[in-house]
A and B are shown apart, each in its own frame.
Chain A
Amino acid sequence: MAKKTMIQAITDALGQAIEQDDKVLIFGEDVGKNGGVFRATEGLQAKYGEDKVFDTPLAESGIGGLSIGLALEGYRPVPEIQFFGFVFETMDSIGGQMSRMRYKMDGTRQMPITIRAPFGGGVHTPEMHSDNFEGLIAQFPGIRVVVPSNPYDAKGLLLASIKSNDPVLFLEHMKLYRSFREEVPDEAYDLPLDKANVSREGKDITIVTYGAMVRESLKAADDLAKENIDAEVIDLRTISPLDLDTILTSVKKTGRLVVVQEAQRQGGVGNNVVSEVSQRAILSLEAPIGFVAAPDTPFPFGQAENDWLPNASDIEAEVKEIMSY
């Protein structure tokens, strides 16, 4: 066991995935010799060879189709889309094809593809390089959308995603890549893809969140504890399909809910949580549901980034408001 950053945990997982299953293939733009623009695949081509880890032309739609063709032939492709904001170029592969292949073929074909993509704000990458459009993909039934919030989860969730017989969009928040280290076991392990994680237990209010907002929410919960507000923090880990059981159990216990997402509020994952809780647990609620999200604008210019992104103090303020209702 050693302290590792999330990017190190991801590199570990990719190498171990190749060792676990010789059908695993890692490819994308600059992932081979260069080791990826964020160095997630550093050293993998040298260690495992060009058949396992290879560069593709700069062509996201081509990468999507290549993945589907290889999956049809029994491989487990792990393509990288260099920035999630470039996903539009391969939307047909994801939304039109791999998500529905099992369904439209009545289970006779499967798409064990794990698309990795860096995303998220807070590192001053301009506009499309920071986009948080995970909610778009969460609308497609058939694909799992996984967003780890820390190095330990990233490793276990990535290894499980690659083993999964469903396609997975695995979103890696760029701010989490190197901002902190934590203990990550050296050996391979899997974490469940259909379970949210209770990151902090509490009895007064539930905060449901994912990705980079988990740390902000935990920070907020620590501060709130000083004011005798005991918040429970649920890290969704998999944002589609949602683990409703964990969410509902918590809301029924605390009676209050604040949903936190980094993305714009419109059409996002948080709205799915609000709608499910409203329908299934409204009688357990003692207050309206709180919501913390970015404003409904495109990802902003650099000077405005810190104002745009939700943070711990926004969460604290929202929790207090819901507590005082």
Chain B
Amino acid sequence: MTAQLLDSGLSKTTLQTIYKQILSARRLDERLIQLQRTGKTSFNVSGQGQEIGQAAMVAAFDIKKDYFLPYYRDMTAFMLWGATMKDILLDSFGRAEGPSSHGRQMPNHYGAKHLNVVSQASTVASQFPLATGVAYSARLEHSDRVTLVTTGEGSTAEGEFHEALNFAGVAKLPAIFVIENNHYAISTPSDEEYAAKSLADRGAAYGIKGVDVDGLDFTATYLAFKDAVARARTGAGATLINMNVIRLLDHTSDDNQRIYRSKAELAALKAKDPLKTMTQQVLTEDIYTQAELDDLEAAIKKQINVATDQAEAAPLPDVASLTEQVYAPKEKGNGIYG
């Protein structure tokens, strides 16, 4: 049974804002798929099925001071952390104003310096060791800021996952390591990825707390993260959270999951769409009325149209900058260069 939204302790207004952002992210993802299929953009990674868990996760952080190292399926989380629709679209169109990399790397590698969000490399799990460095800096500065880092369950087989968690345990880092477990590494199901009963059990191996949470249940997820953030902020160390979610769509726009998932499985998946559940909850708990939701849909559509037009019209990176920014500019070298 999915817990009531208001049982999260969040106010009705906050829940309204969060729901609005989740709905915006879903509709934006639908637009991104459209843009890719019509050849206007090159590539898309969809996070449909993971949005509720991501939103509940981010809601537990203080985005003004905490740090976030997302992975490529975290569009909703990135938007909850402060990215706008236009930001996402600029990156998707590869435009120079895009906050993640100024149009210099592929989309979905979310980052923004002004939001304390670090763009990942394409090597999965490599953001985990980076997060230990970011978290270690908080320790050096006696700051109570917390570092959030996410990845998919497939990358928990990588060595970086182990090396980072081991150090997080040893150094008691103020960090939260999240596995967004959608049970597929592209086409490989989780029973071929790991033999552990739950990936949360791995926490014990590193001397850090491991927590399992149903990422389709907003309130349960929010409360689990709230607890983990409080522990990190008060010096109790890191937490590993295995957040169970579902992947509704293909791995990326270059993939076709009908090759490796049965029709029955995909139909059952669709019935579990957490956005449907949450929308029902929003209505039942009187957070929004149906009329308000209809208005919201219309407003979001308009916003997406405006953001799409703006992003599409924005300039591409200048090809003349091709050989720039390989090394630091000489004049800043302070005598280091001859």
Contacts and interface: CB of A to CB of B under 8 A. Distances in A.
Contacts of B134: 69-70, 72-73
Given A69-B134, A165-B328, A62 B167 contact: yes
| B interface: dominant SS | loop
A220 B204 CA distance: 60
A72 B335 CA distance: 23
Contact of B123 (A51, A70, A77, A92): A92
Interface in B113-166: 113, 118-119, 121-123, 126, 128-137, 140, 159-160, 163-164, 166
B244 interface: no
Contacts of B337: 192-195
Interface in A73-118: 73-75, 77, 92-93, 96-97, 102-110
B334 interface: yes
Interface residues on B, range: 35 or more
A232 B136 CA distance: 49
B328 A65 contact: no
A74 B336 CA distance: 19
B132 A69 contact: yes
Interface stretch (B77-85, B101-109, B176-184): B101-109
B330 to A, nearest CB: 8
Interface centre among B111, B129, B131, B136 (most CB of A within 10 A): B129
Contacts of A69: 118, 129-137
Interface in A156-195: 160, 163-166, 190, 192-195
Contacts of A56: 167
A64 interface: yes
Interface string B318-338: 000100111110001111111
B137 A96 contact: no
B160 A163 contact: no
B129 A193 contact: no
Given A56-B167, A193-B336, A142 B327 contact: yes
B170 interface: yes
B317 interface: yes
A267 interface: no
B167 A59 contact: yes
Contact of B333 (A65, A92, A103, A164): A164
Nearest to A73: B137
A165 B327 CA distance: 8
A263 interface: no
A64 B130 CA distance: 8
Nearest to A157: B336
A105 B104 contact: yes
A180 B334 CA distance: 31
A73 B317 contact: no
B104 A106 contact: yes
B101 A106 contact: yes
A103 B326 contact: yes
A247 interface: no
A92 B328 CA distance: 21
Contacts of B103: 106
A193 B328 CA distance: 12
B126 A65 contact: yes
Contacts of A96: 121-123, 126
Contacts of B332: 165
B24 to A, nearest CB: 26
Nearest to B104: A104
Contacts of A25: 140
Given A59-B166, A160-B336, A65 B102 contact: no
Contacts of B336: 160, 163-164, 190, 192-193
Contacts of A160: 335-336
A71 B336 CA distance: 19
Contact of B129 (A65, A109, A110): A65
Contacts of A141: 326
A66 interface: yes
A65 B317 contact: no
A67 interface: yes
A104 B105 contact: yes
A192 B337 CA distance: 5
12 contacts: A57-B170, A65-B160, A66-B129, A73-B133, A77-B133, A97-B121, A104-B101, A105-B104, A164-B336, A190-B335, A192-B336, A192-B337
Nearest 10 interchain pairs by C-beta: A69-B133, A65-B129, A192-B338, A62-B163, A73-B137, A165-B328, A195-B338, A106-B102, A59-B163, A70-B133
Interface of B: 96, 101-105, 111, 113, 118-119, 121-123, 126, 128-137, 140, 159-160, 163-164, 166-167, 170, 317, 321, 324-328, 332-338
Given A69-B135, A103-B325, A164-B328, 13 more contacts: A56-B167, A66-B133, A68-B130, A68-B133, A69-B131, A69-B133, A70-B136, A70-B137, A106-B102, A108-B113, A142-B326, A165-B332, A165-B333
